Amino acid sequence: MRRPTSEIYFQKYNRKALIVQGFFNFHKLLTNILEKLLFLNDFKLKIITMKKLIISSLAMAVIASCSSSNDDSSDNNNDNNSNNTPYLLKKLTETTQDGQTYTLEFKYNGDKIVESYSSTDNEKTVYTYNGDDIIKTEEYKGATMRQMREFTYTNGKVSAEKVTRKDNGTLVYTKNYQYLSNTHVKFNEYKGSTYSPSTGTHSNIQFADVDAYLTNSGNIASTSYTYNGTTYNAANTYDNSNHPMKNVKGYIKIDLFYLGDGELAYNNLISRSENYSGTVSGNNKSNADHTFNNSAYPTKTVMKYTSSSFGINTHTYIYEYNK
């Protein structure tokens, strides 16, 4: 599971956004190199993704549209405790292949997430609810807010997400979601923009139109899109056990499509295969080995990331719960 509350591109250790944002300012000759760098960052900087996957990636609520089995329910696999207290992820520790360690801690009000905090880089995300739905997240570096996400819901589903980023000037854009069926969703994914340091503004905002299919459990089965002359196709497989963020109200709704790597879901990712061809070509793969407690929640995950361009990288995640 990776992921903190901020947009993947926005994190300190995720250079992907910076590369994409500057992409249009580079000479056409650098296109292939930049595309390769994107994959390098996606491959080697899983930290960010995981760090932020959990925060923003680990929150899992129900996509009411995907499947009735994913609606917030009292079936929390809690070993028949009389108080029916749900399992809630309290702390995530990630260790990278080169021995770096990152921690992420979560605070709750009941089963609603209030804040996620990374002591490693002094970053936190604050969550605001309306009923059981998260309507706003604010991401801070120290005392400075760097990104805000605001959500609009239609029939219990996220229909629009307004993102305001302040890492370089102020960038504002909106992601819109179109639900064609319970298992078919289309949305526009931010890819980059042209930034003017002299004015502090962004122009030429670029999006990719993503076509996503879901499993009956509401997990992302596959995605496809074409961007800058390259077509990307990805397929995921999952187990039937509980994701660490399964019981957090409204969290999965806002982040299921946020990371795009399949690690944030209602169940646990087993494998992911991504192939891309066109301007650049290659493939990336992810394989997970999970260790579970008696209630089928993972206590440890070893993720092996394989890239056709950059080899193998392994990350280990340790999960600590409220009980």
Place 48 in a pLDDT band, splitting at 50, 70 and 90: very low
Per-residue pLDDT tens for 195-213?
999 999 999 999 999 999 9
pLDDT digit string (tens) for 129-166?
999 999 999 999 999 999 999 999 999 999 999 999 99
What is residue 244's predicted lDDT score, i.e. its pLDDT?
A: 98
CA–CA distance, 262 with 254 (Å, rounded to integer):
14
**pLDDT attached to residue 313:** 96
Residue closest to 156 by CA, chosen among 133, 188, 183: 133
Q: How confident is the model at residue 261 (pLDDT cuts 50, 70, 90)?
A: confident
Both tokens assigned to 137? 């997240």
Question: Bigger pLDDT: 122 or 76?
Answer: 122
Q: How high is the mean pLDDT of the chain?
A: 82
Report, as an integer, the average pLDDT of 107-128.
Answer: 97
For the chain, the C-alpha Rg in angstroms (whole number) is 18
| CATH number attached to the domain at 8-321 | 2.40.160.150
Predicted confidence band of residue 1 (pLDDT cuts 50, 70, 90): low
Residue 259's pLDDT is 74
In the numeric block, which tokens belong to residue 98?
């080169």
Q: What is the tens place of the pLDDT at every residue in 50-102?
A: 444 444 443 333 333 333 345 444 456 665 444 688 999 999 999 999 999 99
Is a pLDDT exceeding 70 seen at residue 128? Answer: yes
- The pTM for the full model equals 0.78
In the chain, % of residues over pLDDT 70: 74
Whether 250 shows a pLDDT value over 50: the answer reads yes
Q: Give the model's pLDDT for residue 85.
A: 85
Per-residue pLDDT at 70: 53
Q: Determine the pLDDT at residue 312.
A: 96
More confident residue, 259 or 88: 88
- What is the predicted pLDDT for the residue at 78? 61
Task: Note whether 145 and 166 are within 8 A (CB).
Answer: yes
